[in-house]
Amino acid sequence: MDGIINIYKEKGYTSHDVVQILRRLSKQRKVGHTGTLDPEAEGVLPVCFGKATKVVEYIIGQNKQYKARLCLGITTTTEDHTGEIIKRRPVEYDTERIKTVLQSFIGEYQQIPPMYSAIKVQGKKLYELAREGKEIKREPRTVYIYNIQITKWLFPNQVEFIVDCSKGTYIRTLCADVGEKLGCGGHMSGLLRTAVGDFSITNSYTLDQLEEKVNTKCWDSVLISIEELFQNYPKVYVTPSADRSLQNGHTIYEKGIDPIRSSPFQENVVCMYTSTGDFIGLYQGIQQEYIFYKPVKMLI
């Protein structure tokens, strides 16, 4: 079985828990998630099966959307509600100022990853070091906030908002940074991931719903093909004489391309097909003295 299932991860499960459950349900070992979602967070978690595990990086690299709740006046060790309280400060609940500060983070943003994160330093995850009582210096990372929209004011000290952001953005760190900029501190008190690229919460499945699909033998109805994941990429078809070279993962030259069926040449990653229409993998279009396509990811 090869493809992706759009899972709705509920609270209480780690991303690893989800993978283990899906291995049991699918009776398949090659299963991988596409980016850690904290146990207390919920929402979209695309999971790859079989050959689709080869393209995990393409899903991880997509933009994300979250619905978050910011609690002002309280800072914690983990930057969310699961941590120990470090400090309490009074909150001036000025909605216009809160809105202005939140939206000031739109654009490029230098963010220092939290200690309680899965980032590895010298082979050890930061959260493992944090649990040992250690704190190490973390270099800021460039992330991008595309939009922030406030959805609910929760007097006296909370606010809900939707944020569209680049990969690698920590929303609890964003909440903590907003609190510091307001002068009262803050932490993330709730998080729902509503989208990962084109994977939306509206067409996601809980583990219980998926188990029901398995029991009724409707598993295939929720499986998204690898080809569908790359549906917006240019498509290139080879001629019959180049089929064997393509299937062996060789570089494909212009003379082996079917110009009638193929998208116009672009120096981008493209979906490569045999002359009979079988999707073989991702290739990079290159133009030097001549045009050719070099394999990036073989999916056979």
Backbone φ and ψ of 194, nearest 5°: -100, -15
Q: Which of 38, 80, 164, 177 is catalytic?
A: 38
What is the Cα–Cα distance from 238 to 110, expressed in whole angstroms?
Answer: 44
Neighbour tally for 59: CB within 10 Å: 22
Write down the residue that tokens 């002002």 correspond to.
Answer: 72
What is the Cα–Cα distance from 238 to 245, expressed in whole angstroms?
Answer: 10
Cis preceding linkage at 264, omega within 30: no
- Compute CA distances 208 → 6, 34, 153, 191, 211, whole Å: 13, 20, 33, 21, 5
Residue 38 annotated as catalytic: yes
Would the CA dihedral through 36, 211, 51, 2 be positive or negative?
negative
> Which parts of 164-271 fold into alpha helices (H)?
171-182, 207-215, 226-229, 243-247
Which residues are part of the catalytic machinery? 38
